[in-house]
């Protein structure tokens, strides 16, 4: 079981300390996106990096639309690797959709997660009459269609929208490369699950202390969404970052590290 999970999710463990810090990447990414973040914690924590099945260097033969047709399949990846490593009282740092995966895991196994850190979270991406998610249904349909017709053109279009920071174009170029490294079919399926899942009703069930890091401008998960998540999770703290863009752990790694460290030390 241990070796199977370690291989399946390409799990890496390093660092010192008693408490485990587990980093979960967002849609279209893999553990590489934590390369400027994770090393800052290895002196005080045992750090766990992994890839969800279908992403990065995970075992893609383990992917199935049945299991990964909802966020609960990805939640099970997280629970599986924590069980394989006998992890308890972890700090889970989740970016984007991983924030919701972490929330679902904490609801199911609150004893396993000591704290949640959510970076650019969104429980629901679609606009409704009484809720602003940032996207109309036609936007999501168009995005999914574009992924199916021409995946590389979709990646080229999306990367600068996600990254922002036009003064540093290399950020968008590097993120485009990360997106293009994915299997297009699996990536489209993960995108559909990400952008159509509705976790809003689950947020009030989260009982663990939670830090929400909200970039000041985020085209994917706007500030209104960050405030909504904060209002729904009772024991949460919302910090609006100086960073702009949906990937502050890539574009503003120093600020991201500083805020997470301050929260864990408080």
Beta strands at 46-49 and 236-244: parallel, antiparallel or unpaired? unpaired
Q: Which residues are catalytic?
A: 96, 218, 246
- Integer-rounded Cα Rg, in Å, for the chain is 17
Q: b vs e for 148-176, b when ≥16 Cβ sit within 10 Å of the residue's Cβ?
A: eeebeebbeebbbebbbbeeeeebbeebb
CA angle, 52 then 39 then 1, to 5°: 35
Structure tokens at 30: 């893999």
Q: Report helix, strand or coil for 214.
A: strand
Q: b vs e for 217-227, b when ≥16 Cβ sit within 10 Å of the residue's Cβ?
A: ebbbbbbebbe
Beta strands at 20-24 and 12-15: parallel, antiparallel or unpaired? unpaired
Residue with tokens 């700090």: 91
From residue 25, alpha-carbon distances to 34, 164, 186, 198 in Å are 8, 19, 15, 19
């Amino acid at each position: 079981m241990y070796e199977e999970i370690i291989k399946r999710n390409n799990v890496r463990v390093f660092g010192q300390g008693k408490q485990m810090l587990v980093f979960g990447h967002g849609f279209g990414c893999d553990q590489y996106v934590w390369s400027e973040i994770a090393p800052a914690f290895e002196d005080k924590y045992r750090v766990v990096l992994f890839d969800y099945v279908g992403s990065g260097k995970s075992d893609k033969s383990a992917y199935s639309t049945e299991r990964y047709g909802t966020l609960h399949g990805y939640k099970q990846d997280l629970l599986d690797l924590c069980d394989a490593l006998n992890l308890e009282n972890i700090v889970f740092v989740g970016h984007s959709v991983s924030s919701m995966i972490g929330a679902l895991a904490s609801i199911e196994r609150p004893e396993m997660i000591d704290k949640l850190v959510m970076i650019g979270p969104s429980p629901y991406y679609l606009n409704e009459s009484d809720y602003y998610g940032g996207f109309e249904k036609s936007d999501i349909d168009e995005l999914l269609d574009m992924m199916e017709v021409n995946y590389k053109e979709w990646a080229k279009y999306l990367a600068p929208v996600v990254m922002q920071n036009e003064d540093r174009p290399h950020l968008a170029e590097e993120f485009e490369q990360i997106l293009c490294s994915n299997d297009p079919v699996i990536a489209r399926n993960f995108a559909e699950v990400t952008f159509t899942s509705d976790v809003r009703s689950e947020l009030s069930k989260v009982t663990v202390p939670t830090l929400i890091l909200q970039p000041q401008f985020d085209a994917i998960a706007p500030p209104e969404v960050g405030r909504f998540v904060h209002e729904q999770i009772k024991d949460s703290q919302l910090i609006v970052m100086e960073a702009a863009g949906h990937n502050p752990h890539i574009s503003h790694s120093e600020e991201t590290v500083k805020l997470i460290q301050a929260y864990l030390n408080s």
